[in-house]
A and B are shown apart, each in its own frame.
Chain A
């Protein structure tokens, strides 16, 4: 069974500082990995996804994530935090089998930006 673990349920960074949100995965097959963001009172929006092409994946709003197989990690980063980045971030994994494409989510990390 596949799973993801997000370290840190709450992360606070100052505006302009580096954002680092951690995600480690467990999967018996090469995984597909996703980061979603949820703004207050909204649905989940895809930030980026890893689908076994380039290990460094660039997403929307200046976010990127690097797939590291040796560390079973897919951490999300942004060089300079903006107030509008305040939201909840979810890491998710899919094993990619056709017809079995359900997403397994982590518990989420709430990002707070300090002015």
Chain B
């Protein structure tokens, strides 16, 4: 069964460093998302992406964040200058269509630890 994959599974970085989290969505999906979950808190929407541009972003997704689909398979989330409060589990998701009824399939997540 096709699945969303994410690398790395765990990333440790120093405050102020740049990180790139990578995702490979399901191959025939057209809509891509990033969510994050700070330890002990709810899963929060960060950004949605379609047709090589951002569809929607939350207030969390400030200028320090960017997303890119550099080729036909990868979808990346970049944090330019990490802060302690960026420590969280980051989930990538993809869906075939963009309607609310379309199932979003989630990857296993990348745990980001900022020291």
Contacts and interface: CB of A to CB of B under 8 A. Distances in A.
Interface stretch (B63-71, B74-82, B92-100): B92-100
B43 interface: yes
B99 A98 contact: yes
B55 A105 contact: no
A77 interface: no
Contacts of B99: 96, 98, 101
Contacts of B109: 43
A19 to B, nearest CB: 21
Interface residues of A, dominant DSSP = loop
Sort chain B's interface into a size bin. Answer: 20 to 34
Given A99-B50, A107-B41, A32 B100 contact: yes
Contacts of B45: 102-104
Interface in A34-48: 36, 41-46
Interface in B89-115: 91, 93, 95, 98-109
Interface residues of A, number: 27
Given A43-B4, A43-B91, A46-B103, A99 B98 contact: yes
A107 B42 contact: yes
Contacts of B43: 44, 90, 92, 103, 105, 108
A107 B44 CA distance: 10
Contacts of B42: 90, 105-108
A112 interface: no
Given A101-B31, A103-B45, A107-B41, A44 B106 contact: yes
Interface of A: 32, 36, 41-46, 49, 51, 90, 92, 94-108
Interface of B: 4, 6, 31, 33, 35, 41-45, 48, 50, 55-56, 58, 91, 93, 95, 98-109
10 residue pairs, one from A and one from B, having the closest CB atoms: A96-B100, A94-B100, A44-B106, A105-B43, A43-B106, A51-B101, A43-B108, A32-B100, A102-B45, A107-B42
